[in-house]
Amino acid sequence: MPARQLGPFKVSAIGLGCMNLSHAYGQPPSFEAAERLLMHALDRGVTLFDTAALYGFGANEELVGQVLSPHRAKFTLASKCGMTGVDGKRVIDGRPKTLKRTCEESLKRLRTDVIDLYYLHRWDRAVPIEDSVGALADLVSEGKILSIGLSEVSAATLRRAHAVHPIAAVQSEYSLWTRNPEIAVLDACRELGTTLVAFSPLARGFLPGTLRDVSAFDAKDIRRAMPRFTPEAYAKNLSLADALRNLAVEAGCTPAQLSLAWLLAQGEHIIPIPGTTNVAHLEDDLGAADLALPLDILDRSGALINQQSVVGARYSAATQTEVDTEEF
């Protein structure tokens, strides 16, 4: 597996987002299936595993800790604070005392003494970013975390945070169909030496082209509230997925591999973290790391699927108020 720099760490060019093993897309897999997926990723050379206190309200950290803690020296562990489950509800809380308490809870669930990369999952606008990052800097001084990340923030917020403590990574949604980081954050990361960790790099199942019927989503699937996944919008977007499949056939790869290869080609400081519950899909994703596709194919992919051709916003209006990212 090719490697890329992430703060002080060298990690696999493609990491694994662990969220959907416990959270967000309906019924999670069994422990045995999740364990098989995590261990297969480790065996295939994935060295960046990404979780959060929010995912499954602690269940995902428990899973990652139970399965991977015996192999702790083999990978870089990332988790997140500042957005957690409280009494069954999702709560954004960036107060220093909350972040420090959450870290202690995460360390226990993850069965480790230190978290390599600890993100502020969302900026709590009631708390100055400097205060939240200052609390994370205290955790670095105490040896409980090794580096600091931010999630879904603007370039301006990144710079404010970076003035308090170096920011190793910004995690934002980035893919062919979500291009918001290109407005400002991608360049700010390059300027500051910060890695852009791209979550949902396969557009929450859209880009592989196999997700056809959004009406069949589980009642608790978070995509039900996303404008791009309404039946009307999705029916229009499917033509883009079909055209991408034709480009992938021309390139001799799968649509998922083409999508990830496009993302990797946007900069050496970008690391995608696709998530899956399926070992075959994981194999497909990891195959993108070794692809050397013609520039023409990559350019045509970007011209095909972008903010001008995709129908629908990525978040509902209510959810959009919770993120700080620039929007087209």
Q: Which residues of the chain have pLDDT under 70?
A: none
Token pair 């897999």 in the structure block, residue: 29
CA distance 175 to 287: 17
Give the number of other Cβ atoms within 10 Å of residue 155's Cβ.
Answer: 21
Q: In the prediction, which pLDDT does 313 show?
A: 97
CA distance 176 to 302: 6
- Cα 225 to Cα 218, 274, 315: the distances in Å are 12, 21, 8
Q: In the prediction, which pLDDT does 131 show?
A: 98
Q: In the prediction, which pLDDT does 259 show?
A: 98
Residue 174 annotated to the active site: no
Question: Are 80 and 74 in contact, with CB atoms under 8 Å apart?
Answer: no
Strands 89-92 and 83-86: antiparallel
List beta partners, residue 78: 50, 117
pTM of the model: 0.98
What's the chain's average pLDDT?
Answer: 97
- Ordered DSSP codes for 113-157: S-EEEEEESS--TTS-HHHHHHHHHHHHHTTSEEEEEEES--HHH
Tell me the domains of the chain and their CATH numbers: 3-203+261-291 (3.20.20.100)
Question: Are 156 and 167 in contact, with CB atoms under 8 Å apart?
Answer: no
Q: In the prediction, which pLDDT does 7 show?
A: 96
59-78 pLDDT, tens digit each:
999 999 999 999 999 999 99
Start-to-end C-alpha separation, the chain: 34
Catalytic residue among 25, 55, 119, 315: 55
